[in-house]
Structures are given as C-alpha cells and as structure tokens.
Chains A and B, each alone.
Chain A
Amino acid sequence: SQTIHQWPATLVQPVGSPLSLECTVEGTSNPNLYWYRQAAGRGLQLLFYSVGIGQISSEVPQNLSASRPQDRQFILSSKKLLLSDSGFYLCAWSARQGDQPQHFGDGTRLSIL
C-alpha cells in the first residue's frame, strides 16, 4: 500500500532563516505531488504541484519554492522566512492516471518567531 511521509512534524524558525520541508511517497511510481498550506479555520491553499521530476508549477507567487529531485520526493524551501509563512504545510500525492483523489501526509506545523 502507498504511504506518504512528511518531516519534521513541528518546526519553530526565526524570521529570515531558511526552510526545507521534505515529503516522500512509498508504494507508487510517477505520482503527482502537491504542497498545500492550511490556515486556521480555512480551507487548503495549493502552493505547488509536480507531475514529474524537475517539473514544478506554482499556484501562488510568494516567498516559497519547491523542488522534486527524485520521483517520490518533494521539497518545500525558502531562503528567508517571513512571519506570514507560519502555518500548517501539507504534502499530498495522487496517481498519475485519470482523475484520482489526493492523499495527504500528516503535515508540518511551522511557527515563525
């Protein structure tokens, strides 16, 4: 069966510091991969999605970037964090073929001080 792992679960970072969040998927090949941010009491906002290695689409222009160095690895980065980057970051995957639902990891809660 497929599993998705995100780490770390919780992160506290100072303003201006860099960021690297990692997500890996097991048990499937060529997945679509997604990064979302969830603000309290609000729905999920899509940040980036990827249909293959090195292929990244950005949905919201901002302080963050994403990379996919391997088929089942998706990384969310920032060179300099802002206070507004605080939030709950979720990685998700879906099967490449057809219109398949997305499956989520357990997220990273990021607090910027």
Chain B
Amino acid sequence: GAGVSQSPRYKVAKRGQDVALRCDPISGHVSLFWYQQALGQGPEFLTYFQNEAQLDKSGLPSDRFFAERPEGSVSTLKIQRTQQEDSAVYLCASSSGPFSGANVLTFGAGSRLTVL
C-alpha cells in the first residue's frame, strides 16, 4: 500500500482482556518496528522484525506482549491480560531495507489502546 496502515485506530479493553493490534507495512518493506507512545512522551521501542525474523524484542515490557510477522509482511502485536499501564498509542513503522542508522522510517497513524 501507499503507507503504513494500522488497525484498529482506537481500542477500549477491560482490564484482563486480550487485544490484538494489526500493522500493514508498505509493500515490500523489509524492516518493521513496533513502538509504544505514552501520553506526552516520545515513542519507546518495543520490537523489530527483518522480514519474518524477530531480531530484537528487548523493548517488550513483559511476557504479556507478543509480536509476530509470520510471512514477512503484516504484523500483529498481541497483549494478553491487559493492565491499565498498557494504555498508550502503539505505533508501527517500516523501512525498505535492513535497518541501518541512515534508514528513514515510515510510521502508521497508530492504535490508541485504553484499558479500563
């Protein structure tokens, strides 16, 4: 597609529910990132995929967070047993090649998760 598409744009979950957030990167983009952005803060790195391989998941805050990209295109971020502190905007970004310092990331509009 023309840009990075994320769905749903807004999600309200009750504490303890599982949620799944979808990212559709730009077609052919090798690298895919997930970031978490709390209100009034900058994005914080969660995880990175190069094609279908999850090369870095050091930013995932707990084992309740899980991400996959099974065919090297669409990615899903799953959060199990949601907690109030999970409330944030979840951003997906992609870039055309393997990540290097000079690569430009294209971001989606984000999925805003509110946990009640």
- Say whether A and B bind each other: no
Binding site for A on B (CB under 8 A): none
